[in-house]
A and B are shown apart, each in its own frame.
Chain A
Amino acid sequence: MAATQSDNTQSTEPTAQEYTLRIRRYNPETGDAPFWDEHTIELEPHRSVLEGILQAKDLFDGSIGIRCSCRAAICGSCGVRINGQPGLACQTHLDTALARGDGSGVIEVEPMGNMPVIKDLIVDMDAVHWKKVQRVTPWLINKEPIPEREYIVPRESMIDITQSMACIQCGACVSDCLSMEADPLFVGPAALAKAYRFVGDPRDDQQYERLKDLAEDAHGIYDCTHCFKCIEACPKGVAPMNQIMRLRRRAGGDHHINDRNNGDRHERTITSLIRDYGLLHEGEMLPRSYGGDSWFGKFHPAAAQELLGSLPVITKALMRRKVTPMKALLGHKIPKDDLADVKKIYKRVEGRDERIEFNLYISGVDEDDEQIRNEPVAEVAPGKEGSSR
């Protein structure tokens, strides 16, 4: 169906081609079910899907609903799903969009997910995205006293938050978040990336309070499943999931927030089990995550209750000889000398005063053999910046 190349092969200018857009239409006010609408537009391959939609709107059907403004991938208005992937319609070229398809030669455009549709490709950002952003107090709470002139902050600490500052609030990450799909109350990737923008800012006075709030919330930082969908979706390289992991690192590692969702205990449990066994000891993971990171964790009431709830599963696993009682209790270890080596690594790295964090977004990749701009960025521990606690 698509792409009938013009004969003019001599010209260096790209020539217009036909593309079929299949647009998902829906108007809740009519009471009719959503339906697909196809239009054939004609544009050069490097032109955007947004231009294609606007051409269809101009030439064939003025009622197509699409929100857009800058057309330069900066205002974040035209977030849609193109052939199943979220992104900005103005930033996605027609040829790229077509290549992403299933080979049927059609570019499928749908509204973003996880948000109610207002009309056609327009979703209700207020109902979901903005409400969640408001949830994280998205402004700087100044440290007192406010200096007469400017704040002086360490360069590294501001570089550290540039990635989260690159967000244009388009909602692409929210659209694809798999945690939010199962738990609509999840604060979500965009809002949590915004939270890190302030938690990582040395001028903010309430970093501890922000982290405590988001760690204790059952739908906060520990509700993210690590699925990488938001990293894949973001048109600006914000990598919201990485910002969520930074929030966790600061909450547990720097502020020692022992949250009620087992988040910090779970992280500590896995980290120390691997130090002590070299391998994951699954039998200890669950009780310690609930009851506390020690061998005695399993005797904590919270752990006992959880173990009781999991009894049908445990019994079945034992019956099927999936695990032997011995293995469930004792776990498995790597050889003694190797375990000693692993412990030495732990001791050295955990013993550093400063956390070394290498962020590719900031440092980039070495260009072949030339080593340029490859200094690892040391994340300055909050204690050194003057903690807000």
Chain B
Amino acid sequence: MKVAYWPGCVSRGFTPELHGAMDKVAPLLDIELVELDRACCSGAGVIAEHSQELADTLNARTFALAQQVDDAALMMNICSTCQGAQGECQERLDASADYREIVNTTLREENGLQYEAGIVNKNFLWVLVEEIGLENLKSLVTRPLTDLRVGPFYGCYIVRPTDRLGIDDENPRDKYLGWVIEALGGTVVDYAGSHKCCGFPIITMNKEVSLKQAGRHVSDAQNADADCIVTPCPLCHLNLDLQQPLAARAVGQDLDLPILHLPQLVGLAMGLSPKELGMGRHVVKPTSVIDWTQSVVGAVPA
């Protein structure tokens, strides 16, 4: 399957291991990535906060570039925040032909581009379940994550609002992470924070509260005996992993829980080595996930 691939900014910036892992995993899943390297940041909701029209036009530009990729089945991203921010813009663009024309006039006259309503834009998590299929995914597992207890962490932008994100009985996308963990042979850890906010959006405005949010979720998962957390959102990863030492201080607890990117978890189960997946680049080393001496996945006994 060929996809117009939007990696986002952070996956090529402060979480480079995410983009790298996706690159390694894609061929194993028979996904051909055509990178949208000309596109710009989705604005993560902040540009929309500044000017809705600006955010809508910049993302319409990304959609238009994706629509130029020949034979692409869909547009795919690996960031919950991009998914939500782009989805919000698409909802407005697709709702009104008149509004779309305002945006398209700018695109046409300034960039020579045009967005046609109705682009299919899916996060890698949705692609795994809806395009690759769980049975197919299971059959590709060469190293099942037996005994690995994984706490899912979705990121707000990919679970709310449900109607915009197409979450319904037919596509319960807010349950997919659990399904994928199980398909890879792991055990899903149920804990309070799985669908909550990591706190990242207010890290520069109210650092204490932001870190408290991250700390609570990591602590909840850790107390539920999780070996690690997996997230499809690199911004959540920044607060849960990069900031974990400070988050631990904010909640007054010892925290030491590895946070994996979704493609890393998939890659581990498909036989890739932790090194190939960039797992040494995390702030919290995934020692409880991997026996480094043998590169074998599985919980290390306490």
Contacts of B292 in A (CB 8 A): none
Verify if A122 is at the interface (C-beta below 8 Å from B).
Answer: no
Verify if B28 is at the interface (C-beta below 8 Å from A).
Answer: no
Please tell me which one of the listed residues A290, A342, A371 contacts residue B98 in the complex, with CB atoms under 8 A apart: A371
Interface centre among A248, A253, A345 (most CB of B within 10 A): A345
Q: Decide: A322 and B96 in contact? CB cutoff 8 A.
A: no
CA distance A225 to B210 in the complex (A): 8
1/0 contact trace for B251-277 toward A, CB 8 Å? 000000000000000000000000000
1/0 contact trace for B5-46 toward A, CB 8 Å? 000011011111100000000000000000001111101111
Q: Decide: A280 and B44 in contact? CB cutoff 8 A.
A: yes
Q: Decide: B196 and A248 in contact? CB cutoff 8 A.
A: no
Q: Decide: B283 and A349 in contact? CB cutoff 8 A.
A: no
How distant is A279 from chain B, measured CB to nearest CB, in Å? 4
CB contact list, A334-349 vs B, under 8 A: 334-335, 338, 341-342, 344-346, 348-349
CA distance A280 to B200 in the complex (A): 15
Verify if B147 is at the interface (C-beta below 8 Å from A).
Answer: no
CA distance A358 to B98 in the complex (A): 10
Assess A253 versus B202: contact at CB under 8 Å? Given A183-B209, A316-B283. no
Verify if B199 is at the interface (C-beta below 8 Å from A).
Answer: yes
Q: Decide: B97 and A182 in contact? CB cutoff 8 A.
A: no
CA distance A278 to B95 in the complex (A): 27
What count of chain B residues pass the 8 Å CB interface test?
Answer: 70
Assess A356 versus B209: contact at CB under 8 Å? Given A262-B204, A335-B37, A374-B96. no
The 9 closest A-B pairs by CB, nearest first: A228-B160, A280-B9, A227-B197, A374-B96, A344-B110, A289-B204, A279-B9, A278-B40, A227-B156
How distant is A144 from chain B, measured CB to nearest CB, in Å? 33
By a beta-carbon cutoff of 8 Å, the part of chain A in contact with chain B is 99, 178-179, 182-183, 186, 218-219, 222-229, 231-232, 245, 248-249, 252-253, 261-263, 266-268, 270-271, 274, 278-282, 285-286, 289-290, 310, 312-313, 316-317, 320-323, 327, 331-332, 334-335, 338, 341-342, 344-346, 348-350, 352, 355-358, 360, 363-366, 371, 374-376
Query: Which residue of A has the minimal Cβ distance to B202?
Result: A225
Of the A-B pairs whose beta carbons lie under 8 Å apart in the complex, a sample of 12, sorted by A's number, is A226-B201, A249-B49, A266-B204, A279-B13, A338-B39, A342-B61, A345-B57, A348-B106, A349-B51, A356-B53, A374-B95, A374-B97
CB contact list, B55-70 vs A, under 8 A: 56-58, 61
CA distance A306 to B107 in the complex (A): 39
Assess A282 versus B206: contact at CB under 8 Å? Given A374-B97, A375-B98, A376-B96. no
Q: Decide: B10 and A356 in contact? CB cutoff 8 A.
A: no
Chain A binder among B120-128, B133-141, B219-227, B238-246: B238-246
1/0 contact trace for B93-106 toward A, CB 8 Å? 00111110010001
